Amino acid sequence: MSADPTLRREIPDATVARLPEYLRTLTMLAEAGVASVSSEELAASVGVRSAQLRKDLSHLGSYGVRGVGYEVETLALEITRALGLTQDWPVAIVGMGNLGHALASYSGFVTKGFHIVALFDDDPALIGEQVGDVTIRPSWDIEGCARELGIAIGVIATPAPAAQTVCDALVKSGVHAILNFAPSVLTVPAGVEVRRVDLSTELQILAFHAQRRVGLPSPAVVQR
Amino acid sequence: MSADPTLRREIPDATVARLPEYLRTLTMLAEAGVASVSSEELAASVGVRSAQLRKDLSHLGSYGVRGVGYEVETLALEITRALGLTQDWPVAIVGMGNLGHALASYSGFVTKGFHIVALFDDDPALIGEQVGDVTIRPSWDIEGCARELGIAIGVIATPAPAAQTVCDALVKSGVHAILNFAPSVLTVPAGVEVRRVDLSTELQILAFHAQRRVGLPSPAVVQR
User: Do B18 and B46 form a contact (C-beta atoms < 8 A)?
Assistant: yes
**B216 pLDDT more than 80:** no
Among B17, B201, B223, select the one facing A21 at the smallest CB separation: B201
Q: Does the beta-carbon distance from B187 to A223 stay under 8 Å?
A: yes
Q: What is the pLDDT of residue A5?
A: 46
User: Do A96 and A68 form a contact (C-beta atoms < 8 A)?
Assistant: no
Interface residue A43 vs chain B (CB under 8 A)? no
Among A99, A205, A221, select the one facing B190 at the smallest CB separation: A221
Q: Which residue has the higher pLDDT, B120 or B115?
A: B120
Q: Does the beta-carbon distance from B215 to A5 stay under 8 Å?
A: yes
Tell me the Cα Rg of chain B: 20
Mean pLDDT value across residues A133-150: 93
Mean pLDDT value across residues B188-205: 85
**A9 pLDDT more than 60:** no
Mean pLDDT value across residues B78-104: 89
Question: Binding site residues of A for NAD(+), as ranges?
Answer: 95-100
Residue spans in chain A of domains classed CATH 3.40.50.720: 89-201
Q: Which amino acid is at B68?
A: V
- Binned at pLDDT 50, 70 and 90, residue A12 comes out as confident
Mean pLDDT value across residues A28-48: 88
- Binned at pLDDT 50, 70 and 90, residue B4 comes out as very low
Which B residues, 88 through 117, put their C-beta within 8 Å of a C-beta on chain A? 89, 91, 97-99, 101-103, 105-109, 111-114
Q: What is the pLDDT of residue A66?
A: 80
Q: Which residues pair with A120 in a beta bridge?
A: A94, A137
Interface residue A198 vs chain B (CB under 8 A)? yes
Nearest to A198, CA basis, from B1, B179, B72: B179
Residue spans in chain A of domains classed CATH 1.10.10.10: 5-83
Cα separation, B134 vs B144, whole angstroms: 17
- Under CATH, what is the fold of the domain B5-82? Arc Repressor Mutant, subunit A (1.10.10)
- Binned at pLDDT 50, 70 and 90, residue A107 comes out as low
Kindly provide the b/e burial profile for residues A83-98, where b requires at least 16 CB atoms within 10 angstroms of the residue's own CB: bbbeeebbbbbbbbbb
Q: Which amino acid is at B97?
A: G
Q: What is the pLDDT of residue A110?
A: 61
Which A residues, 64 through 93, put their C-beta within 8 Å of a C-beta on chain B? 82-85, 87, 89, 91
- Binned at pLDDT 50, 70 and 90, residue B90 comes out as very high
Cα separation, B56 vs B78, whole angstroms: 12
Q: Number of residue pairs across A and B with CB atoms under 8 Å?
A: 233
Architecture, CATH, for domain A5-83: Orthogonal Bundle (1.10)
Residue A181, min C-alpha distance to chain B (Å): 10
List, in order, residues 6 or more apart from A173 with CB less than 8 Å away: A142, A143, A144, A145, A146, A147, A151
Q: What is the pLDDT of residues A148-187, one digit of tens each?
A: 999 999 999 998 889 999 999 999 999 999 999 887 778 8
From chain B, the residues in CB contact with A84 under 8 A are 207-208, 210-212
ipTM: 0.75
- Binned at pLDDT 50, 70 and 90, residue B5 comes out as very low
Q: Which residue has the higher pLDDT, A108 or B156?
A: B156
**A219 pLDDT more than 50:** no
Interface residue B207 vs chain A (CB under 8 A)? yes
A89-201 belongs to which homologous superfamily? NAD(P)-binding Rossmann-like Domain (3.40.50.720)
Q: What is the pLDDT of residue B65?
A: 81
Percent of chain A with pLDDT over 90: 42
Least confident of A21-25, A174-178, A189-193, B213-217: B213-217
Q: What is the pLDDT of residues A190-203, one digit of tens each?
A: 989 998 887 778 88
Nearest residue of A to residue B151 by CA position?
A210
Q: What is the pLDDT of residues B57-77, one digit of tens each?
A: 999 887 778 878 899 999 999
Q: Which residues pair with B136 in a beta bridge?
A: B119
For the residues of A75-133, what is the DSSP string, one character each? HHHHHHHHHTTTS-EEEEEE--SHHHHHHHT-HHHHSTTEEEEEEEES-TTTTT-EETT
Cα separation, A38 vs A46, whole angstroms: 13
Q: What is the pLDDT of residue A11?
A: 86
Percent of chain A with pLDDT over 70: 88
Q: What is the pLDDT of residue B223?
A: 32
Displacement of CA A183 from its chain's centroid (Å): 18
Interface residue B224 vs chain A (CB under 8 A)? yes
Mean pLDDT value across residues B39-50: 86
Cα separation, A199 vs A157, whole angstroms: 13
**A224 pLDDT more than 70:** no
Kindly provide the b/e burial profile for residues A138-177, where b requires at least 16 CB atoms within 10 angstroms of the residue's own CB: ebeebbebbeeeebbbbbbbbeeebbbebbbbbbebebbb
How far is CA A82 from each of CA A11, A17, A75, B124, B130, rounded to the nearest angstrom? 9, 12, 10, 46, 46
Helix B39-46, helix B13-31: angle, nearest 10? 110
Q: Which of A22-31, A204-213, B60-69, B105-114 has the highest mean pLDDT?
A: A22-31
**B222 pLDDT more than 60:** no
Residue B69, min C-alpha distance to chain A (Å): 24
Percent of chain B with pLDDT over 70: 88
From chain A, the residues in CB contact with B199 under 8 A are 103, 106, 108-109, 197
Backbone φ and ψ for B77, nearest 5 degrees, come out as: -65, -40
Backbone φ and ψ for B89, nearest 5 degrees, come out as: -110, 115
Q: How far apart are the first and last CA of chain A?
A: 34
Q: Does the beta-carbon distance from B102 to A97 stay under 8 Å?
A: yes
Cα separation, A197 vs A221, whole angstroms: 32
**B99 pLDDT more than 80:** yes
Nearest to A208, CA basis, from B161, B172, B87, B110: B87
**B154 pLDDT more than 80:** yes
**A210 pLDDT more than 90:** no
Q: What is the pLDDT of residue B151?
A: 94
List, in order, residues 6 or more apart from A177 with CB less than 8 Å away: A152, A153, A154, A192, A193, B206, B207, B209, B210
Interface residue B42 vs chain A (CB under 8 A)? no
Residue spans in chain B of domains classed CATH 1.10.10.10: 5-82
Q: What is the pLDDT of residues A46-68, one digit of tens each?
A: 778 889 999 999 998 877 788 78
Q: Does the beta-carbon distance from A84 to B211 stay under 8 Å?
A: yes
Among B179, B199, B212, select the one facing A203 at the smallest CB separation: B179
Residue A6, min C-alpha distance to chain B (Å): 9
Nearest to A103, CA basis, from A205, A199, A206: A199
User: Do A93 and A109 form a contact (C-beta atoms < 8 A)?
Assistant: no
